[in-house]
């Protein structure tokens, strides 16, 4: 089984002004003359981490990572008491990627995205297919209503009733209305008072990070207890989900044929509770030439052992494509 490459540090980083008062943090690691790849993190609102640098051979790849608007090392944070989300949408993030690509002098890059990162990768690649050399997609999420309903409005409780109780517990009893949970969470998450928005954000993030792996991962549950990071994460996710990601129904599956000719690998865990395999399957039906991997004993997270194995094998395989 392949594992992550050894830890590395960036050789360049910066805050890129993208307009609307937002600055987006980016960093570059690996070989400055190597094959360009951009890593797209999940959530939205999750931020990039030092472990994500290690999915790519640093001798062969020029590795770009960024924290999407409002989270991680980008500014302002969506966790600030008063926040304006109006310039934080899928299409703002797509434009930020184009700005980063051109500012860094990159003509074409590999686009690697897991979970929400796969959503953003599909949106970006369908808008700018000529800029994408390969696509590596893991834990496929396309932000259809059915996908949001599954995980945030009740159905997934059939698999995880214990942790679901914690998600419902983040809302006062009168707001635990099936079909209106995301909407009702918004009222708490966007309250200016940290005593209101922080417990709601921790409950939201604990539900999500508690359902990413087959085996329990106390380290992920611990991350969700960081009230400030979870506020940014939950606010951004909630904002994107209430707006259907500014996508038309089924858009990212319907427009998959625009990706024809881009070598694409889809990696999906069988026991992914957060983004169930049906979405990866639907994408594969729309993109039959893509390489399709179901990992039988894995959940959602990129570092589930079988998933990591295929991801690193894939980036190695693509490293020598010119």
The CA-based dihedral angle spanning residues 283, 286, 292, 298, taken in that order and rounded to the nearest 10 degrees: 20
Span 201-260, contacts to ligand STX by CB under 6 A: 208-209, 212
- Give the number of C-alpha atoms closer than 13 A to the C-alpha of residue 297, restricted to the C-beta side: 4
| Distance from C-alpha of 45 to C-alpha of 66, rounded to nearest angstrom | 11
Which residue number, 61 or 116, has a Cβ lying nearer to ligand STX? 116
- Give the number of C-alpha atoms closer than 13 A to the C-alpha of residue 294, restricted to the C-beta side: 12
Per DSSP, what are the bridge partners of residue 24?
Answer: 16
Q: Report the DSSP pairing between strands 132-138 and 22-30.
A: unpaired
Counting contacts by CB under 6 A, is residue 318 touching ligand STX?
no
| Distance from C-alpha of 301 to C-alpha of 308, rounded to nearest angstrom | 9
Which residue number, 71 or 263, has a Cβ lying nearer to ligand STX? 71
Q: Say if residue 44 is preceded by a cis peptide, omega within 30 of 0.
A: yes
Which residue in 25, 141, 164, 167 binds ligand STX (CB under 6 A)?
141
Instruction: Provide, rounded to whole angstroms, the least separation between the CB of residue 288 and ligand STX.
Output: 25
Instruction: Provide, rounded to whole angstroms, the least separation between the CB of residue 148 and ligand STX.
Output: 8
What angle (nearest 5°) sits at the alpha carbon of residue 80, between those of residues 78 and 83? 60
**111-to-38, 117, 136, 226 alpha-carbon distances in Å:** 5, 9, 6, 29
Span 34-63, contacts to ligand STX by CB under 6 A: 41-43, 46
Instruction: Provide, rounded to whole angstroms, the least separation between the CB of residue 260 and ligand STX.
Output: 26
Instruction: Provide, rounded to whole angstroms, the least separation between the CB of residue 115 and ligand STX.
Output: 3
Which residue number, 182 or 274, has a Cβ lying nearer to ligand STX? 274
Which residue in 63, 274, 290, 310 binds ligand STX (CB under 6 A)?
274
| Residues involved in catalysis | 115, 272, 300
Which residue number, 25 or 116, has a Cβ lying nearer to ligand STX? 116
Instruction: Provide, rounded to whole angstroms, the least separation between the CB of residue 151 and ligand STX.
Output: 7
DSSP states along 88-128? -SHHHHHHHHHHHHHHTT-S-EEEEEETHHHHHHHHHHHH-
Which residue number, 134 or 147, has a Cβ lying nearer to ligand STX? 147
Which residue in 68, 115, 213, 315 binds ligand STX (CB under 6 A)?
115
Span 150-179, contacts to ligand STX by CB under 6 A: none
- Give the number of C-alpha atoms closer than 13 A to the C-alpha of residue 46, restricted to the C-beta side: 22
The size of the interface with ligand STX (CB under 6 A), counted in residues, is 11
Residues that bind ligand STX (CB under 6 A): 41-43, 46, 115-116, 141, 208-209, 212, 274
């Amino acid at each position: 089984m392949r594992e992550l490459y050894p830890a590395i540090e960036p050789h360049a980083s910066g805050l890129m002004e993208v307009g609307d008062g937002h600055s987006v943090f980016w960093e570059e690691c690996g070989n400055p003359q190597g094959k360009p790849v951009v890593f797209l993190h999940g959530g939205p609102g999750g931020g990039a981490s030092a472990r994500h640098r290690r999915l790519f051979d640093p001798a062969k790849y020029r590795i770009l990572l960024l924290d999407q608007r409002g989270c991680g090392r980008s500014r302002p944070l969506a966790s600030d008491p008063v926040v304006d989300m109006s310039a934080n949408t899928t299409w703002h993030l797509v434009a930020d990627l184009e700005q980063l690509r051109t500012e860094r002098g990159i003509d074409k890059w590999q686009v690697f995205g897991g979970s929400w990162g796969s959503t953003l990768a599909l949106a970006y690649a369908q808008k700018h297919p000529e800029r994408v050399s390969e696509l590596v997609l893991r834990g496929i999420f396309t932000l259809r209503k059915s996908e949001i309903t599954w995980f945030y409005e009740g159905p997934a409780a059939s698999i995880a009733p214990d942790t679901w109780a914690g998600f419902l517990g983040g809302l006062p009893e009168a707001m635990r209305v099936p079909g209106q949970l995301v909407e009702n969470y918004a009222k708490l998450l966007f309250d200016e008072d940290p005593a209101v928005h922080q417990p709601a954000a921790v409950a939201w993030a604990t539900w999500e990070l508690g359902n990413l792996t087959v085996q329990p991962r106390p380290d992920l549950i611990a991350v969700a207890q960081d009230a400030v990071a979870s506020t940014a994460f939950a606010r951004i996710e909630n904002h994107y989900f209430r707006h259907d990601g500014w996508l038309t129904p089924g858009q990212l599956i319907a427009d998959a044929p625009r990706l024809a000719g881009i070598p694409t690998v889809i990696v999906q865990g069988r026991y992914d509770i957060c983004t169930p395999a049906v979405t990866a399957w639907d994408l594969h039906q729309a993109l039959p030439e893509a390489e399709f991997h179901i990992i039988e004993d894995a959940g959602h997270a990129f570092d589930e052992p079988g998933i990591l194995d295929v991801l690193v094998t894939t980036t190695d395989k693509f490293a020598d494509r010119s």
